[in-house]
Chain A
Amino acid sequence: MESSNRIILITVISWLLIIASLFLHTSGIIKIPFFNLKQSKGAIVVVEENYKGFNLVAIKEEVYAIPHGIPLSNPRRMKRQGTFEAHSKEEAKRMIDANKEDIEPRLYLVENNFRGFNIYRLGNRYYIVRAMHKEHAVPLPTKYPYHERYAGSNIENARGFVTKLKESEF
């Protein structure tokens, strides 16, 4: 077979293979990991402006304390420029007060999205913060997004607190 004919044949087969595999992947018959590409979600939420020379900006479930003068960019890049990453507005402020991200104690995620709230442990105390919408990646409706609230001294208490809590009160 001539070289040009061989190239045409292989190209046509490759194109067919791509189409066929996209059909299989889309239909769910075979999930091809190769095609699992990320898709950006979420919104930039301004939590508080000008707290001791920092702006508090949230993306997905994290609050970023960004020093004035640092442009909003990729969180990994911002971190190299003196930005602190926190789980709540109050934690971000504690970091700003301490002038470092590595503070003790820190919010430690215990349970993600328990009835619409993330439960965190801070030392021996448990706090809740409104979780984010799984698909939209923005905070679930709440009066004070990214606000931490004391929920009890153990996980059971915290869960009970969430169960009793009316969302509108939060």
Chain B
Amino acid sequence: MKPKSKELLLILFLALSVSILISIKVFIYDGCYAFDSNDDANHTFVNLKAAQDIMKNGSVPEINLYNNFGTPLLGDALTFPFSIQSITYWFLPNYLAMTINRAIIAFLTMIFLFLFLRSFLSPISSFVSTIIVFFAPGAFWNFAHHHYQMTLLCFSWILFIQTRLLRSARNDDNRHHETMQRHSERTYVIPSKARDLLLLWLGYFIFILSVSLQLVVFSLPFLILYLPIMDGLKKNKALTLNLTALILAIVATWPHISLFFHNIADSTRANWSPYSSVFTTLRDQILSLLFPPTEWIHYGINGHFTVATYFSIAFIIFAIVGAISLISRNRKLLLLIILLGFLPAIAGFLLQFRYGQYLPFFRSVDSSRVWWFSNIFLALAVGSLIDSKWKSDFSIIPKAIICFLTITIIIFYFAIPFKIFEIIDLALIHKLIILFTSISLILVLLSRKQYTVGKLLIITTILLAQIPTLIHVMGLNMGSCSKWNHYFSYKEAATFQPLHLLQEMEPHYRLASEEYTVEGHDLKAIFADVLGSDARAIISSQLLQNILLDNKLIKIDANYFFTQPWQSDKVSELGIRYLLVKEKSKDLASKKWNLIAEDKDNERGYFLYENPLKPTIAHIDQDGNRHFIKELQLIPNGIDLELPDISKEGNLIVSLSFSKSYRVYVDEKETPASMNYLGMMQIPIKPGNKNVHITFNRTSWFKLFSYIFISIVLLISSLYFFTSRIFGYK
């Protein structure tokens, strides 16, 4: 078999095996699907449904009126209705769409990661390094989520195209001197440039529309610096093309980007993050890099930090030694690994655990996510070690450093029972990883030539080090599809459960559930066109939270939920007709709320109460008297109301969180709205007014497509400019 065919087979095997592996429970447990029952089921599925319903009516998906008194859809940090991975949701049920997305995206990610790494490494080193990057715990944990799963695919795609550009630019230079006038050369080079610029633009365009912008921001230093590090700043044609593609992609997606920052600025997450203060001592912070925290920390920690900081001793040590091996071989690659691998990795660590809390932007983000990108360059170092000629690549000082590292690891290993109490009962796999790492280093130091055994030992150690990640992230020890882990779930978790309670509620009325928002009932009520009230969104309004908190209506969790003591008056004013609680409530019963349904079969029990006033989401307030409006219709991004006859002036209160982005028309005449004391929309009305039309309006299809159009026009102009002027072909 030809080497190319062998390599193709290797790539396909790798991509397919990973696709199958990450769907492992789908194959093992009946009815199990690969979707996250937390963020995705509660947020993405819900908001994508809202977005699709709006788009089916031909409108831009601007706001989901069904959640948290109105949650913006465009620029939301989790929904991304125009992302490439949201396409499957148009054709398949959400749980199946996510399952298929994961498998396809994993497959493509492995291919593009491999192709990029292959530019520097041998096939086998690329194979191992690709596995390291994909199964790095932080990235792999978040691969479960809609808004993160395209990250590595887009990133490696862009890097791969940049590398192609770099090579073709270098070839150009050579050819330019030799055969500038030859027509045959021109016809080959120009289309190649055009195609690569287009592919780069497309890569950035999809990246921005499909991946959380926080990660896009983290990735930009890597994507901008890669080419200048490889080829310098002077006459770097590839860099020019790359920056052009990036800027034009930003132009094309500008409405999306600006709305994201607009939303996040007002959100509850602007100055707070659930990721701070996880590991408080330096010992814990360093241990968390070497062993999965969930295996040694003495209390339960939540979320991805159970494992996300785990690099493994093997990865860290082999990356360092790999970098050292490049000192005498390839200084440019070494520089790349240091600047885009080690430095950002260390910066991410310091920002996350030491200094981020003092800095405004970093306080509210998880800075360890920079590792998703730096890992690629650290994996290049590991691959370089496997490809190196070992002893001959190391002079006396590097040897001394490796020797020091080896002795340190051995001392560390033997110190565990005496000094490192956290890991006294360390699992066998970690002991093996430490031992194999130190033996590998000894082999690196002593072998006179490339030892097959030594290389295999390094590869085996690296592969072993992935196992804890696989087990913890996918919950492979749980003996169940979804227990204690939300990487996989049964399809029922994608919708409101128990379903019969949902059927008791009338559409277009409002529910509030007294439960941690992670449970998601409040949000998933949208599947029966029932409006929820609790907040579970990155971009839920800080102002509304403060108002509701001041009125003692809510309890804070990751976001917030409505809770007792129930203030019937305020709850009615907010248009809440139904309350879902977990215990029978004497308080509600005393206030004449009716228990209309319950579900005791459920582990904890759910009780659905109905407000005796049966409030709708809009009412007229006249001197403190409320008249609920029955004649209302939810329309895409807004609401239409028919007003009853009124005898004097009053205020129309619509239980949607006040925003200046709402346009209000009373009898087709634009009327200014204000915010009432509960943060809701308040519109002055007079006797004789017949109807009110409210619509949330921040953008339009015209605006969205104009930016794309402008970007494409500039792109075509750039293609002409670059091919004819910069590269000297006419």
Contacts and interface: CB of A to CB of B under 8 A. Distances in A.
Q: Are both chains from one complex? A: yes
Contacts of B21: 19, 22
Contacts of A124: none
Interface stretch (B437-445, B476-484, B505-513): B476-484
B544 to A, nearest CB: 29
Interface stretch (A24-32, A105-113, A152-160): A24-32
Given A40-B306, A59-B298, 13 more contacts: A8-B123, A11-B127, A11-B128, A12-B127, A22-B471, A22-B476, A27-B28, A35-B467, A37-B429, A40-B293, A40-B297, A73-B283, A135-B484
Interface string B400-442: 0000000000000000000001101101110000000000000
20 contacts: A7-B452, A8-B6, A8-B124, A11-B459, A11-B463, A14-B463, A22-B467, A25-B476, A26-B25, A27-B28, A28-B479, A38-B295, A39-B472, A40-B298, A40-B301, A41-B300, A42-B300, A73-B281, A73-B283, A73-B284
A75 B424 CA distance: 12
A94 B460 CA distance: 53
Contacts of A140: none
A22 B24 CA distance: 9
Contact of A3 (B17, B306, B452): B452
Interface residues of B, number: 56
Contact of B28 (A26, A36, A37, A43): A26
Contact of A76 (B424, B450, B456): B424
A108 B477 CA distance: 32
3 interchain residue pairs of minimum CB distance: A76-B421, A26-B476, A27-B28
Measured as residues with beta carbon below 8 angstroms from the partner, the interface class of chain A is: 35 or more
Contacts of A75: 298
A14 B460 contact: yes
Contacts of A25: 476
Contacts of A11: 124, 127-128, 456, 459, 463
Contacts of B281: 71, 73
Contacts of B424: 76
Most buried by A among B10, B292, B477: B477
Interface in B77-129: 122-124, 127-128
Interface string B18-30: 0011001101100
A36 B477 contact: yes
A75 B298 CA distance: 8
A22 B455 CA distance: 24
Contacts of B479: 28
Contacts of A42: 298-300
Interface string A74-89: 1111001000000000
B131 interface: yes
B297 A37 contact: no
